[in-house]
Amino acid sequence: MIAQVYGKRGASAVHRYDPRAKTLLLLAFLVLFFLPIAVGHLAAYLAVVVLLSGAFLGLSNTLRPIRMILPILILVMLLTPPFYREGSALLAVRGLTVLSVSGLLLALRLIIRFTGITMVFYLFIGTTDPDELILSFRWFRLPYTVSLILSLALGYIPTIRTLYDQVRDAHRLRLAAKGEGVGEAGVHRRGRGLFKRLRESIPVMTSVLILSVRRIPTLAMALECRGVGRKNARSSYHTLKTRAALLRDGAIALAAVAVLVISVVLFP
């Protein structure tokens, strides 16, 4: 399921990069997107993340998380400016400011920040093997149970979108078989009204909820098979990089963090 969401595992430099160093870069970029710096500089950092994702995960896989969060981004753009109307007005109706410069900049900042955080996590999980991710968390002295749960959560939560698409297509095929909601050309007619679309999405969301709940025993059995709850010492057949490789990847990560810090200081 993870391969369907993030794409096929590759053999690129980012895929082979040490997950501990990638965790350090992940934290650095998360802090970066929360800093109160200029919107243009945030957009530049977002462009870097998008370019890396497109280069190592592919264009289609890069656009997938953006499509997932697109409704949220549209809502942010529509709802944020009306509540922040201080400053120069860009659009006014009868003397009432509808869109101001500060409101537009705040909306853009929120959109870039949310998109950047999403893309950073997507790139991190899409280029990191789950087993190496668990070992990386354990290297940072996190308990095995916590490491395994974090790994499963990061890898499983995005699959809800894939599950939603499958359920939606199944409902459309059922409606087509019954002849409901199909036009003369045999094309499915979508509800035009907002409330009608929301009403039609209730069966789909209900099916997704049921399927998600039914997967709980499967995840529980997977956790039991991985030894969750056992008190004996764990053994591992897979190890992370050591010595020269770890030092090299760690040095690259520290250099990248230093570049980010210098860029923030020079271009606040």
**What are the boundaries of each domain within the chain?**
1-142+239-268, 158-236
Biggest alpha carbon–alpha carbon distance for the chain: 73
Q: Is 1 helix (H, G, I), strand (E, B) or coil?
A: coil
CA distance 226 to 149: 11
Confidence (pLDDT) at 191: 45
Tokens 């509540």 correspond to 83
**CB-CB neighbours of 264 under 10 Å:** 15
Global confidence as pTM:
0.68
CA distance 75 to 69: 10
Tokens 């920040």 correspond to 113
Alpha helices by DSSP H, 80-193: 101-126, 130-139, 144-156, 159-178
Cα dihedral sign, 227-154-127-23: negative
Question: Could you say which residues of the chain have pLDDT below 50?
Answer: 1-8, 182-191
Confidence (pLDDT) at 159: 67
CA distance 83 to 77: 11
Confidence (pLDDT) at 5: 44
